[in-house]
Amino acid sequence: MVWHSHEGSPVKRNQRAAGTSGHGSPSARHGPESTRLLSEMAPHLMTPAMVNALTKVSLQTGQLSNTRDPFPLKRSTLLLTPRFSLENPARSLARISSSLLQFSGLSKDRAMNERASFTSMDIGVLEESQRILESADHDLDKSCDTAELDTADPDEVPVSLLRGFQATVPEAYAGKARRAKARASIVSSRMSRRTTEKTLLSLEELELQDAEVRQELQHIGIRRSLYSTEMVNVNAKISALENIRASLELKMLEVREEELELSDELHGLTELLELQRHRRAMPGGRGLDASTVLPQTTVTMRGTSRRKRGPVFLPSEHDELPPGVAFLTLREQAGPVTSLDFSEPYGTLVSASVNEQMCVWDLSTSDEVGRLRGHSDTVKCVQVEDELCVSGSLDHSLRLWDLRRVDAYEDALEDELEDALDPCVRVLEGHSKGVTALYFDDGCLVTGAADKTLRQWDLETGQCVLTMDILWAMSNAGASGLVDTRTKDPELAPHGLANAFFGPFSYPQPPYEDGSWEMYQDFVGGVQFWGYALASGSGDGGIRMWDLRTGQAHRTLLAHTAPITALQFDETYLVTGSLDKSVHVWDLRMGSIVDTLCYNYPVTALQFDSRKIMVAAGSHAVDVYNRISEKHSPLTVNGHTAPVERLRYMDRYAVTGGRDQCIKVWSM
């Protein structure tokens, strides 16, 4: 095509025509100009050589900056990188026309109210662009490797902008309409002649239709490739959005955990503040401090409840410890740990093993302070509140200990002195068999024993004030207070269970991870009370809710199929663990199970708060279940070498005991 710069050229005429039509706005003038330039450049852009060259190069668009192509910038200019879109084919072509206008000096950067003069320089630029496009096939074939294009799947070959336009413009469908019209004319001619002689299409017409059909098949392949590319792009966008959503969900979980942590801290501070104000308001009262927790000479029978204790303020060095790592190991010499509890992080720990003595440890120095001597059989349960310790043993007794006397008592034994104060300040007797579970709070103690009874004790007098018979509750469970989610088997009916437990209780415990097992003989696996509400778990797999004012069981929850080994509840939820290898989370408001955790080995201990559930389930690792993210995190780094059976934690400080005769202190 030859361009002229004199006054009567098509360029000037079109400019004048565009300038006098419409409202004279830049946008109105820009539309006809881009359309004209596109119509004049299209015959040169859509040549077979150019289409073939752009098809070969489209496969190389992602590899422009490699060693084979030393001119990536120049190459990208020729490739017309905007891909053709089936959604807006006209908009795709408008991008080319806009770029040509911008390249030729007719861009929007010019004054909006004046016509930009079309100079000879602009015409020269357009002619040079035409020459580059005409020789693009020859230039690009020298540097582009077409072997990948020849061996690629037709559906995976990238489609250039121009080929996509050819395959989707309305003219691409004109051949089908023309062929239908030709066949209709032949049929109509037959009908008009009223003859059975066959009328055939001419050779030229058949060749034309053959070429058209083949061309349309190529167009269909191009459209299929375009749709496939669009789908790949959409899938990539969906995947990216899903990743972003997953990231945001994780951040929401972190925010929720932080919110619950702050809520717990605020709740503890509020209770401590109320207690402090109450003590200040009393005549001659003063604030709560270390000297008022326990008297200096005698032990108080009222400890600060673990439930009402304020937030744990850990030392600053604890924040520097990596989470999920055991940073301290204490070794018991007698055998597997049967029970443990501690007063506070880096405070005092009391642990029991298979012998009758208990060890007292200083967690800040990892030293053994002394021993608690007095029981004549294995200690099965221990609770520590400040300087007060309560223990229950298979010798049928309970003992109360003043931990402040332990150090002086050990020194007196070494010096063979007889006037030292014994740490044991009181012995409670009343159970006829071994004590296996206890819970102490605010001067009140509730215990459970192998004699299948629960007892409430007044620690001020040392007297048993209430006895609750579990067998009687099993035999008289009312239908209104019974929640049974187990298989409906007549043998599991609550009225028929009591007879099976009149004799000595024993249950074959499922094997641990290391294959070890033993006969489980603790009929009462766990007790806890709050106010007048008492919960107990027993060997029949039932959880019973008692009223301490009447001593009656008003609700029975049946879901476990093996003895209960641990339980804990708060205002809303009750969490229970059993030898049936499961942990159930109950909603106390509805009396139904809201969550169940299943394990490979029997559950022997658990503890929970609003954010997590910590479970010892017969393996070497302790499982920490995040209630917010619903993920399990085992504690294994520098951990136990035998199954863990006991655990206790406060905030981010945990202590565990296992059958490897070790006590591990963890940072969480």
Domain-embedded: residue 119: yes
* Cβ contact 606:616 at 8 Å: yes
Parallel, antiparallel, or unpaired: how do β-strands 435-441 and 519-520 relate?
Answer: unpaired
Shared-domain flag, residues 227 and 159: no
pLDDT confidence bin for 368, thresholds 50/70/90: very high
Shared-domain flag, residues 16 and 163: yes
Domain-embedded: residue 589: no
Q: Of the given ranges (328-342, 380-394, 481-495, 589-603), which has the lowest mean pLDDT? A: 481-495
Helices (H), 504-568: none
Give SS3 for 543.
strand
Q: Which two tokens stand for residue 387?
A: 């300087």
Shared-domain flag, residues 229 and 119: no
Is pLDDT above 70 for 257?
A: yes
Shared-domain flag, residues 117 and 139: yes
Domain-embedded: residue 42: yes
Q: Of the given ranges (166-170, 332-336, 587-591), which has the lowest mean pLDDT? A: 166-170
pLDDT in tens, 612-622: 999 999 999 99
Q: Which two tokens stand for residue 239?
A: 């995947």
The residue that leads in pLDDT, 38 or 550, is 550
> How far apart are the C-alpha atoms of 352 and 344, rounded to whole Å?
18
pLDDT confidence bin for 299, thresholds 50/70/90: very low
Domain-embedded: residue 84: yes
The residue that leads in pLDDT, 133 or 179, is 179
Give SS3 for 573.
strand
Shared-domain flag, residues 180 and 141: no
Three-state secondary structure along 202-238? CHHHHHHHHHHHHHHHHHHHHHHHHHHHHHHHHHHHH
Residues 354-371 have a mean pLDDT of 91
Cα four-point dihedral sign 477, 482, 484, 489: positive
Domain-embedded: residue 145: yes
Domain-embedded: residue 150: yes
Domain-embedded: residue 288: no
Q: Beta partners for 615?
A: 606, 623
Element (H, E) at 372: strand 367-372
- How much is the pLDDT for 298? 44
Residues 524-540 have a mean pLDDT of 93
**Under the phi-then-psi rule, with left for phi > 0, alpha for psi from -120 to 50, and beta for the rest, what region is 559?**
alpha
User: What is the overall mean pLDDT for the chain?
Assistant: 75
> How far apart are the C-alpha atoms of 106 and 459, rounded to whole Å?
97
Give SS3 for 388.
strand
Question: Domain tally for the chain?
Answer: 2
Parallel, antiparallel, or unpaired: how do β-strands 519-520 and 507-508 relate?
Answer: antiparallel
Shared-domain flag, residues 255 and 187: yes
Domain-embedded: residue 192: yes
State which residues form the domain around 257: 175-262
Shared-domain flag, residues 69 and 125: yes
